[in-house]
């Protein structure tokens, strides 16, 4: 048995990743890591099948990857399933990066396979170097203990990582010993991708400071995994103390904890509330008036006498919310945080708006305009920029390829009962600024995943 196979066998046994006789699907891209995983687990006697995603991102190169995988599986008599995706179209439709689109498509397929086979597992080829890259990537974007303690060896959805104790050098040495070729994704050297930049620039720089950086980082991740276990255990005790009754958070008990913001985040995280949002709520709790509401995509948090009440929301029944544009400067909605500013038009450097912004002439809206937010109604329409006349909201949804969920969650900013902005999407040109005189009001939506 080769050294890497011994390491994989120890990892599988230590973390109970798989059992002989259980079907194991190998996520097989054709790259060095996934091919090494296939060969090692085959040598260890596991019942293997392979899954290959062709993301159609590199033309002939992607097709050559697929052909290589087909040939490899044929040589080793391993059953193979292949899925093809139009990844760029998916990313554009959902407003996400290519990397995120590929990840979503890949794991959605894995989930479908596992849901049909309760005894099966999917093995992915993340290794020890990937762990370090993930930690540094999370650290660069801001994270908590979960982001620093690395990827788990075994996920709750039966995704397992048998190569996690093997370095990239171990894997390359194993492939050399086997004389096993693999495919090289040309995008792996493109430093426009953050992970590649970390791999090719940051880690070598750290190794100049500490030649044992990879080994010491691995030990640090292991220590942090232990800290995370203790942290989560303590959090569970605090959660039971602070929320003795389901759906009601005792404010006095919350504020007496060592770090109220963190405890509140751990309480609300499962319900879609973000860390920054929880931090702001905890910071303002002493001064929050009764009745103040905060939203996630699925839940509403209400400040009541001595408690924060947590409950599910039904988007279709959201009451009309009247905006006090001269008082507060933001409001939390089920789709994100809506903020606004009022000022003199002549002070604006540009009238252009970003993707989630809208700007209106306050003079056209009238003195003390009655602005409110509500869900859509039959017959609602807007006068979009760049076209004649008005357009029914229903047609806007169809032409804009809005999903059913996006339509369900859509909110409108209205002047009285008349919609003037499909929030986060299309504004009504009727109230456009057409002179450098007067006042403006500019709205900005910060989506939930950015709060």
Whether the predicted pLDDT of 388 surpasses 90: no
Q: What is the pLDDT of residue 318?
A: 54
The answer for residues whose C-beta is within 8 angstroms of residue 332's C-beta and 6 or more apart is 277, 293, 294, 295, 338
Residues 346-367: tens digit of each pLDDT: 887 777 888 889 999 988 988 7
Let me know: does 329 contact 364? Beta carbons within 8 Å.
Answer: no
Identify which of 336, 235, 325 has the alpha carbon closest to the alpha carbon of residue 277. 336
223 token code pair: 């220590």
Whether the predicted pLDDT of 316 surpasses 50: no
- Look at 378 and 125; give whichever has higher pLDDT: 125
Please give the model's pTM, rounded to 2 decimal places: 0.66
How many beta carbons lie within 10 A of that of residue 19, not counting itself?
12
Determine what percent of the chain falls in helix, strand and coil, rounding each to the nearest 5.
Answer: 45, 20, 35
Q: What is the pLDDT of residue 328?
A: 65
The answer for residues whose C-beta is within 8 angstroms of residue 248's C-beta and 6 or more apart is 307, 308, 309, 310
Residues 160-184: tens digit of each pLDDT: 999 999 999 999 999 999 999 999 8
Is the Cα torsion angle 416, 422, 428, 434 positive or negative in sign?
A: positive
- Over residues 380-393, mean pLDDT: 88
Residues 59-70: tens digit of each pLDDT: 899 999 999 999
- pLDDT bin (cut points 50, 70, 90) of residue 277 is confident
Domains defined along the chain, listed by start: 3-222 (3.40.50.620), 247-313 (no CATH), 322-330+337-450 (no CATH)
Let me know: does 54 contact 63? Beta carbons within 8 Å.
Answer: yes
Whether the predicted pLDDT of 26 surpasses 80: yes
Identify which of 306, 301, 251, 244 has the alpha carbon closest to the alpha carbon of residue 273. 301
């Amino acid at each position: 048995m080769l050294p890497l196979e011994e390491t994989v066998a120890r990892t599988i046994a230590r973390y109970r990743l798989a059992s002989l006789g259980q079907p194991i699907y190998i996520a097989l891209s054709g790259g060095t890591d996934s091919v090494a995983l296939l060969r090692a687990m085959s040598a260890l006697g596991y019942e293997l099948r392979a899954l290959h995603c062709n993301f159609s991102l590199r033309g002939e190169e992607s097709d050559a990857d697929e052909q290589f995988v087909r040939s490899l599986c044929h040589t080793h008599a391993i059953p193979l399933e292949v899925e093809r995706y139009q990844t760029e179209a998916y990313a554009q439709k959902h407003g996400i990066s290519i990397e995120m689109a590929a990840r979503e498509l890949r794991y959605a397929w894995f989930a479908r396979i596992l849901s049909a086979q309760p005894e099966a597992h999917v093995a992915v080829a993340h290794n020890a170097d990937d762990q370090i890259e993930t930690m540094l990537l999370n650290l660069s974007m801001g994270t908590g203990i979960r982001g620093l303690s690395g990827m788990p060896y075994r996920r709750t959805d039966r995704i397992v990582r048998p190569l996690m104790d093997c370095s990239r050098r171990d894997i390359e040495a194993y492939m050399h010993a086997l004389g096993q070729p693999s495919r090289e994704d040309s995008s792996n050297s493109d430093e426009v991708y953050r992970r590649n930049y970390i791999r090719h620039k940051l880690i070598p720089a750290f190794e100049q400071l500490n030649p044992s950086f990879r080994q010491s980082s691995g030990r640090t991740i292991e220590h942090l995994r232990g800290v995370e276990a203790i942290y989560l255990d303590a959090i569970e005790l605090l959660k039971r103390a602070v929320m003795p009754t389901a759906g009601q958070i005792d404010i006095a008990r919350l504020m007496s904890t060592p770090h109220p913001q963190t405890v509140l985040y751990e309480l609300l995280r499962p319900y879609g509330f973000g860390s920054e949002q929880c931090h702001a709520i905890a910071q303002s709790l002493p001064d929050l008036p009764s009745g103040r509401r905060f939203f996630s995509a699925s839940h509403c948090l209400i400040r009541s006498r001595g408690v924060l009440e947590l409950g599910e929301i039904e988007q279709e029944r959201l009451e009309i919310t009247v905006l006090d544009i001269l008082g507060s400067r933001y409001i939390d909605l089920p789709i994100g945080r809506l903020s606004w500013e009022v000022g003199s038009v002549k002070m604006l450097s540009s009238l252009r708006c970003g993707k989630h912004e809208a700007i209106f002439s306050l003079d056209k809206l009238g003195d003390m305009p009655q602005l409110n937010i509500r869900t859509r109604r039959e017959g609602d329409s807007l006068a979009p920029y760049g076209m004649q006349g008005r357009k029914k909201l229903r047609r806007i949804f169809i032409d804009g390829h809005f999903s059913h969920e996006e339509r369900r969650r859509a909110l409108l900013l209205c002047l009285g009962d008349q919609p003037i902005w499909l929030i986060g999407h299309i504004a009504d040109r009727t109230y456009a600024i057409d002179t450098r005189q007067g006042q403006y009001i500019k709205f900005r939506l910060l989506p939930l995943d950015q709060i």
